[in-house]
Amino acid sequence: MSKFISAKDAAAKVQDGMTVMIGGFLGVGTPHAVIEALVEKGVKNLTVIANDTAYPETGIGKLITNRQVKHLIASHIGTNNNTIDQMNAGELEVTLQPQGTLAEQVRAGGAGLGGVLTQTGLGTVVENGKQKVTVDGKEYLLEKPLHADIALIGANICDESGNLVYKGTSQNFCPMMATAADIVIVEPQEVVATGSIAPENVKTPGILVDFIVK
């Protein structure tokens, strides 16, 4: 069965109140056509898990600007003034996590782990409200796994079976997010025939990808 759908059909799968992982690093690796379709649809009250919110008119930033996100879990927001303004005004709940910790939480969600132990954030506001665990006399924060209803990711190359190749900074979060959501939708820059990608170059196997936006 073909996995190909339109950006509009992809957006139709995202419903109000869902938790959505969105790949990308300042927009690189973000599925821009799907984001545009989500803005047009007007879906709201989303919980978004992402590295950042890019810029006000780029990628995830458009969802922030359009006030479609109620809770953001990210590692930095400094390039998007709208995110900062909404957070300061109490209009957007923002959970900031160290970047490596955020990546490990997503990885843990995909791997079926109960969480990860890290010393990053000890003695800072990051530890507020979190459980601490002592291992061999050393104290760690327990960071719980992250899951999503849908992961929206971008890829450089995708074959017709959904096997994915990433380049540059799009490799930072997209591969992990493809393991940690109930439904995975990819928007590739290029689609090739199945078998065209050397197996050792596949970063996300097609079995993890539910839909391809062509």
Which pLDDT band, with edges at 50, 70 and 90, does 1 fall under? confident
Q: What percentage of the chain's residues is helix, strand, coil (to nearest 5)?
A: 30, 30, 40
The answer to whether 25 and 51 have CB atoms below 8 angstroms apart is yes
Structure-derived torsion over alpha carbons of residues 17, 18, 23, 24, reported in degrees to the nearest 10: 0
The answer to whether 211 and 183 have CB atoms below 8 angstroms apart is yes
> Is 39 a domain residue?
yes
> Is 124 a domain residue?
no
How much is the average pLDDT of 155-163?
Answer: 97
> Is 119 a domain residue?
no
Which pLDDT band, with edges at 50, 70 and 90, does 87 fall under? very high
Res 198 pLDDT > 80? yes
**Structural domain of 174:** 4-113+145-213
Residue 214 has what pLDDT? 86
> Is 120 a domain residue?
no
Instruction: Identify the residue whose tokens are 């079976």.
Output: 161
Nearest partner of 204 among 169, 160, 171, 168, judged by Cα: 171
> Is 130 a domain residue?
no
> Is 133 a domain residue?
no
The backbone torsions φ and ψ at residue 109, rounded to the nearest 5 degrees and listed phi first, read -60, -40
Return mean pLDDT, the chain: 96
Instruction: State whether residue 107 is helix, strand or coil.
Output: helix
Residue 77 has what pLDDT? 97
How much is the average pLDDT of 157-165?
Answer: 97
The answer to whether 31 and 177 have CB atoms below 8 angstroms apart is no
Q: Tell me the one-letter amino acid at 161.
A: S
How much is the average pLDDT of 189-204?
Answer: 96
Nearest partner of 177 among 36, 31, 41, 9, judged by Cα: 31
> Is 132 a domain residue?
no
CATH number at 186 reads 3.40.1080.10
> Is 129 a domain residue?
no
Task: Give, as one character, the DSSP assignment of residue 58.
Answer: S
Which pLDDT band, with edges at 50, 70 and 90, does 4 fall under? very high
Count of other CB atoms within 10 angstroms of residue 162? 24
Give DSSP secondary structure letters for 157-171: EEETT--EE--GGGG
This prediction has a pTM of: 0.95
How much is the average pLDDT of 55-84?
Answer: 97
Number of domains in the chain: 1
Residue 103 has what pLDDT? 97
